[in-house]
Amino acid sequence: MAKLAVITGASSGIGASFARQLAARGYDLLLVARREDKLRTLAAELAAVQVEIVVADLASDSGREQIAQRIRGAANLHLLVNNAGFGSVGLFHQATLRIQDEMHRLHVLTTLALSHAAMENLLAAPPTQGRGIINVSSVASFGQSPSNVSYCATKAWMTSFTQGLAIELASQNSPVKVQALCPGFTYSEFHDRIHMSRDPIPKQLWMTADFVVAHSLRAYDRGQIVVIPGWRYKVIVAFMRAMPFSVMKSIATFAARKYRKPVST
């Protein structure tokens, strides 16, 4: 029986790149997203492996539980990639509560529920190297900035949650692996959906989804837990971790005033 990888948010960007690169490694795939047309197109492209698509809204209780049950019952589950997510822009009190509530449900509750289902499955199976979970977090998880309060907070939770799982697994001498993938600016539909211009961001800071995923999978093979693709972002995160909050606050405030963002609706 071939290894199965479950990928959420698989219809485009980083999720679609995970699908292509894991298919190239011989994984069968369970692809989850809301856009059926995109999933079908991707599945047709990856016809060399077994591909199942599931259209689900993971921010809803019913969609989340549907996929959690599928993960619990997958006899050949080998890898879960929690990639589904989105961003928004706008000051916290101006951005709609509905969008921020959906973001917390998707980044936090869905990652929690699907990871729990995957752990039940993976830890009950005979010990096998290479099984585990990749949680797609963000460089934003290491700081905060105006107009991104909920996004940074939920991604910080994802990174911390993954590190906590890694400690638990190590305490059990488990071969199951976890990774928090923390990319920076990545070419995808992510910024288009929130109508955020790429122009203010230096081109040197942009990465392709294929680069991010290739870096993630190589690091996963090595058992690396927190993965930051690109040397520039490694340097940036090192500074962010070393900076006192007062300094980070001043820098984030200056940048926000220079590059004002539109308000979410």
Answer whether residue 62 is part of any domain: yes
User: Residue 261 has what pLDDT?
Assistant: 46
Share of the chain above pLDDT 70, in %: 91
Ranges 55-59, 162-166, 238-242: which has the least confidence: 238-242
Q: What is the mean pLDDT of the chain?
A: 90
Distance CA 227, CA 200 (A): 25
Distance CA 58, CA 45 (A): 24
Q: Mean pLDDT across the stretch 192-205?
A: 65
Q: What is the DSSP letter of 264?
A: P
Tens-digit pLDDT profile for residues 139-149: 999 998 888 89
Answer whether residue 203 is part of any domain: yes
Which tokens in the block code for residue 20? Answer: 């292509």
- Nearest CA among 7, 110, 111 for reference residue 49: 7
Could you list the residue range(s) of the whole structural domain that residue 195 is in?
4-258
User: Residue 264 has what pLDDT?
Assistant: 38
CB 59 within 8 A of CB 86: no
Tens-digit pLDDT profile for residues 35-75: 999 999 999 999 999 999 999 999 999 999 999 999 999 99
Residue 31 has pLDDT above 90, yes or no: yes
Distance CA 157, CA 120 (A): 21
How much is the pTM? 0.89
Domains contained in the chain, number: 1
CATH of the domain at 33: 3.40.50.720
Answer whether residue 134 is part of any domain: yes
User: Residue 255 has what pLDDT?
Assistant: 65
Residue 211 has pLDDT above 60, yes or no: yes
More confident residue, 248 or 78: 78
Answer whether residue 37 is part of any domain: yes
CB 77 within 8 A of CB 121: yes
Answer whether residue 72 is part of any domain: yes
Residue 235 has pLDDT above 70, yes or no: yes
Answer whether residue 189 is part of any domain: yes
Q: What is the DSSP letter of 262?
A: P
Answer whether residue 210 is part of any domain: yes
Residue 252 has pLDDT above 80, yes or no: no
Answer whether residue 263 is part of any domain: no
